[in-house]
Chain A
């Protein structure tokens, strides 16, 4: 694990990537007991658990190559986050950039623009389930309005196992990049 952290420190524009790779495949586990790469449910490989684009044989088996492939994608997401947050001369903090980048790694945008105080703010309607990696509830949906995270967790937790098939009008939870980023910084 120390090797991974040290290697990441040598790479530019990788702030926040350590949290992503740690979440997706704990450093110490990315080669399992059989000395084989850790494989995700959809055959995403190793630390970065990337399914698309497909990794080369070398990228799968060489951890430094695997990290570099992930870093390249992370840098793309960070560049996109900078364009989004910095448009029209808008100000953003390093923390906002990290949250926006991590969200975009998983999918979606973390911030929306509030024109009144002229600031970026976390997408306000997404309430996250702290017991999960990236499950949340859109609080604009009537079935979720007024519910606490605990209320909705108790209502929906039995359907999480079915993944997207478990989502319905009555169990209106969703996977969210916003919750993914929140989970990253809080764990």
Chain B
């Protein structure tokens, strides 16, 4: 069973990594870290991804591909929709939404909007590799995650138990419809499950 960290240990590691991105709205805030197996935490700071180990009191930078490094570097915000990882077939995955600014004109159309892509990252050997990505929100295309106005819209993204995979709910998808889609893990990939 996964070890539950003490509040003190968690606070030490958060401080060690410095400020982390949070979404400050009246809505419930998103997690600032993802709890991994084996007393570890997954975090981001200054557009880089880190793995922190409370037992060893160490924080290590995760390696990513050049393409994903560029994606992270240009992000307007990086959000963790869930507070825990998922181990599937012995592989550990985390969910990350990487948002890019919709526009460079802050007072224009979508001037403060964001284009958000969900990434399912596989963590292994101090690497974080995208295994699946999906546009989950877009100001330009009016794609909105489900939001009840209380919880964060990112709570519309979650791990799915059966079938094992990822579940995303939209208030308005790319076709303008309310929708929920599940992407199940199958042979190393995440594929859309038929309803």
Q: How far is the CA of A120 from the CA of B149 in the complex (A)?
A: 8
Q: How far is B176's CA from A174's CA once the two chains are assembled, in angstroms?
A: 29
With a cutoff of 8 Å between Cβ atoms, the chain B residues found around residue A48 in the complex are: 109
Which residues of chain A from 144 to 187 have a CB within 8 Å of any chain B CB?
A: 163-164, 169, 174-177, 180
Give the Cβ gap from B170 to chain A, nearest Cβ, in Å: 10
- Which B residues, 136 to 156, have Cβ-Cβ distances below 8 Å to chain A? 139-140, 142, 144, 147-150
Q: Does B35 contact A (CB under 8 A)?
A: no
- Tell which of B103, B139, B178 touches A83, judged by Cβ atoms closer than 8 Å: B178
Tell me whether B147 and A134 are in contact (CB under 8 A).
no
Q: Report whether A175 and B26 are in contact in the complex, using a CB–CB cutoff of 8 Å.
A: no
B112 at the A interface (CB under 8 A): yes
Chain B: residues with Cβ within 8 Å of the partner, total of: 30
Which chain A residues lie closer than 8 Å to B172 at the CB level?
A: 79-80, 83
A73 to B147 alpha-carbon distance, docked (Å): 21
Could you tell me how many residues of chain A have their Cβ less than 8 Å away from some Cβ of chain B?
A: 49
Do residues A24 and B178 form an inter-chain contact, with CB atoms below 8 A?
no
- The answer to whether A80 touches B144, judged by C-beta atoms less than 8 angstroms apart, is yes
In the bound complex, residues from chain A placing their C-beta under 8 Å from that of B58 are: none
Given contacts A44-B105, A80-B171, A112-B26, contact A53 B140 (CB under 8 A): yes
| Chain B hits for A140, CB < 8 A | 24
User: Given A112-B25, A112-B150, A113-B149, is A107 in contact with B104 using a C-beta cutoff of 8 Å?
Assistant: no
- What distance in Å separates the Cβ of A89 from its nearest Cβ neighbour in chain B? 13
| Residue on A nearest B176 in the bound complex, by CB | A79
**A177 CA to B112 CA, complexed, in Å:** 6
B residues lining the A interface (CB < 8 Å): 19, 24-27, 102-114, 139-140, 142, 144, 147-150, 171-172, 176, 178
Interface residues of A (CB under 8 A from B): 23-24, 40-42, 44, 48-53, 70, 73, 76-77, 79-80, 83-84, 87-88, 104-109, 111-113, 115, 120, 123-125, 133-134, 138, 140-141, 163-164, 169, 174-177, 180
Q: Jot down 8 A-B pairs with beta carbons below 8 A, ordered by A.
A: A24-B108, A44-B105, A51-B105, A51-B108, A52-B140, A53-B140, A73-B109, A84-B144
Further 9 A-B residue pairs, CB within 8 A, beyond A84-B147, A87-B148, A177-B112: A24-B109, A44-B108, A44-B109, A52-B103, A76-B176, A83-B144, A112-B149, A138-B24, A140-B24
